[in-house]
Structure 1
Amino acid sequence: MGEMSSFQLGVIGALFLSVASSVSIVICNKALMSNLGFPFATTLTSWHLMVTFCSLHAAQRFHLFENKSVDMKTVMLFGILNGISIGLLNLSLGFNSVGFYQMTKLAIIPFTVLLETIFLKKQFSQQIKMSLLVLLLGVGIASVTDLQLNMVGTIISLLAIATTCVGQILTNTIQKRLNVSSTQLLYQSAPFQAAVLFVSGPLVDQLLTKQNVFAFKYSPIVLAFIILSCIISVSVNFSTFLVIGKTSPVTYQVLGHLKTCLVLGFGYTLLHDPFTERNIIGILVAIFGMGLYSYFCTQENKKKQSGDSLASQMKDHNETTALLGHQEKEGHEVKKAAKNSVV
């Protein structure tokens, strides 16, 4: 029971850290890009990952965590895949309308469920599927506005969905199968993610913004916000791996949509973004869907724990019965030997 309570506290802490850090970095980046005119999102992400790796390297040198070696080919492919998925998501936003980009993000959940069902043989109950549908409906109402389709944007969005889903599933799978922590996996994969984005970032950003990141005039206030964004990103990247490792890729995506609702709310209260009744209704529906998802997940976990406990008790009972039977058999053999010796 103590281990289970500790695990639950760890999950709650990871979820809270993920929400707090993600909402903070969205607000920071929105101020950086919208108010200060720094539009280079992909290049900024590469800086995030480099700062994350440097921070983890320093922590490892101070023995705050143990570096566990993992097959280099696996880590390299995993890091490159995650770097490509980030670049594709940014390209999707650049080549599509905001509404279609939001639909792309919404499609990640059902696509992840489909992949886990087909390749990992994972079962999702009807209640879980229903709660996810309610959640997606609410986020769609709150955030999706216009839907403008184009061939290039659609292809990029499909590739972004595929790479993001596979990357998040691998984050969970690699941690469990190779028995590595989220910190260890992030430490080893971050350099490869950063390298992909560091090379492709300026090109992607110039394609989307028609501006050169190296020709941008960096004022002290812009540099301050970039540094703040990089510091927060360490917590964002760490909590992402932590949440996926402790829960599942689907739960992480549900959490991501909670962040969307919170960002909409903070945007209205702090940045005075336009807010309509549709936004309010959508957020309420999404929160209701998240509540249903959390409730059904909790119920299923309780059933699983109860089943595991029952199976453990049955195993102990069978072992005890077998032991008693063995002892009884030995007793009969001793008595028989004694009888034969008397005769």
Structure 2
Amino acid sequence: MNKKVVVAFYLLLNVIFSIAIVLLNKWLYIHTGFPNITLSMIHFVMTFVGLIICEKLDVFCVKDIDIKEMLLIAMTFCGFVVLTNLSLAHNTVGTYQVAKMLTTPCVIVMQMIFYRKRFSTLVKLTLIPITLGVVINFYYDIQFNVIGTVYATLGVLVTSLYQVMVNRKQREFQMDPMQLLFYQAPLSTVMLLIVIPIFEPVGQTFTHNWSLMDVVMVILSGVVAFFVNLTSYWIIGKTSPLTYNMVGHSKFCLLLLGGSLLFHETLAINQVIGITLTLVGIILYAHVKMKDSQTVMPEFKIRETKPLHKV
């Protein structure tokens, strides 16, 4: 099959699955009130089952590593999934999606503080419209609520910490995202299994009269969550960062449309301004990062191919 057709097919699948998981979860929270942490645990279980199948099919190979090295990253994995789901449950789809955009400036700030990493002035300037746009959107959100804002803020902080840790672990242990996830998913499942009885009414969850549609939607949500990860890793590995970023922008816009059509979420004009600012900032950030990488790569190649001096 033509390579361009394959790439386009995976890009389309990633967009569909990414939009579907958000809308499915939102539907479950609105129409069934399904417990948030329990739903996250089901996602982890189904992701692990999917990874076992992929490993058997030689999609990736498991890399041996001490479990202790994965404990902290599994904890942050739990935190970011649960908190972002709580943000989705208590905010509109649009506000949930816009809040996630704050992850980019948050990751950069964490890298600057904890790892003394330096970024160009242009990169730092692109963070201004991103942050300003998110703040404007939250301020003028007609469904604004304090608990939703708290969950969104905590979700951004923990997600950023998780991304920084994943990046570090990948370099430290030479592991790809699927190899890391193979350890994260079961560890995170066990962690959530311990905390669920503390924070959620387990008895009511088991005794509640869930309809067949409810059960199907929960299972479908778990399956879709796995395929979001699978297609995302494929795109990252087989295409350029610019392609991945542009797919992200399309998902951003389509999710806003989906939230408006399915859940009748209206946007105030000031929210539209905030969302536009955020989207412009993200696009500028992606453009500046791509230019930076293109100026670094040729120099690297020249040094790499330079003939060695004979002894």
TM bucket (normalised to shorter chain) is: 0.7 to 0.9
Is residue 44–residue 188 contact of structure 2 (8 Å, CA) maintained in 1?
A: yes
Query: 1:188 aligned to 177, 183, 202, which one?
Result: 183
Percent identity of paired positions between Structure 1 and Structure 2: 27
Alignment of 1:22 onto 2:23: no
Is residue 36–residue 86 contact of structure 2 (8 Å, CA) maintained in 1?
A: no
From the superposition, tell whether residues 274 and 88 of structure 1 become closer, same or farther in structure 2 (CA, over 3 Å). closer
Query: 2:127 aligned to 127, 132, 146, which one?
Result: 132
From the superposition, tell whether residues 227 and 43 of structure 1 become closer, same or farther in structure 2 (CA, over 3 Å). same
Is residue 98–residue 278 contact of structure 2 (8 Å, CA) maintained in 1?
A: no
Alignment of 1:307 onto 2:302: no
Which whole-Å deviations, capped at 9, do the CAs of 1:179-224 have from their partners, x for residues lacking one? 11211111121101111223323543449xxx93223221011111
Q: Which amino acid aligns with 2:188?
A: Q
For the residue of structure 1 that corresponds to 2:284, the secondary structure is helix
Aligned pairs for 1:97-176 within 5 A: 105=100, 108-144=103-139, 145=141, 161-176=156-171
Q: Which amino acid aligns with 1:126?
A: T
From the superposition, tell whether residues 88 and 26 of structure 1 become closer, same or farther in structure 2 (CA, over 3 Å). closer
Query: Match of 1:286?
Result: 278
Instruction: Give the RMSD, CA atoms, in angstroms.
Output: 3.9
Residue 254 (structure 1) shift: 11
Residue 233 (structure 1) shift: 0.7
From the superposition, tell whether residues 148 and 189 of structure 1 become closer, same or farther in structure 2 (CA, over 3 Å). closer
Instruction: Tell me how far apart the structure 1 counterparts of residues 230 and 165 of structure 2 sit (CA, whole Å).
Output: 16
Query: 2:193 aligned to 176, 190, 198, which one?
Result: 198
Instruction: Tell me how far apart the structure 2 counterparts of residues 259 and 198 of structure 1 sit (CA, whole Å).
Output: 32
Instruction: Tell me how far apart the structure 1 counterparts of residues 21 and 219 of structure 2 sit (CA, whole Å).
Output: 11
Query: Match of 1:339?
Result: none
Greater Cα radius of gyration, structure 1 or 2? 1
Segments of 5+ residues of structure 1 without an aligned counterpart are 1-5, 327-343
Residue 308 (structure 1) shift: 1.3
Q: Which amino acid aligns with 2:136?
A: I
Choose 15-24 or 68-77, whichever is displaced more.
15-24
TM-score by length of 2: 0.78
Aligned pairs for 1:248-327 within 5 A: 259-312=251-304, 315-316=306-307, 319=308, 322-323=309-310
TM-score by length of 1: 0.71
Segments of 5+ residues of structure 2 without an aligned counterpart are none
Which whole-Å deviations, capped at 9, do the CAs of 1:25-75 have from their partners, x for residues lacking one? 1111222222x2233122101000100001111222333321111222112
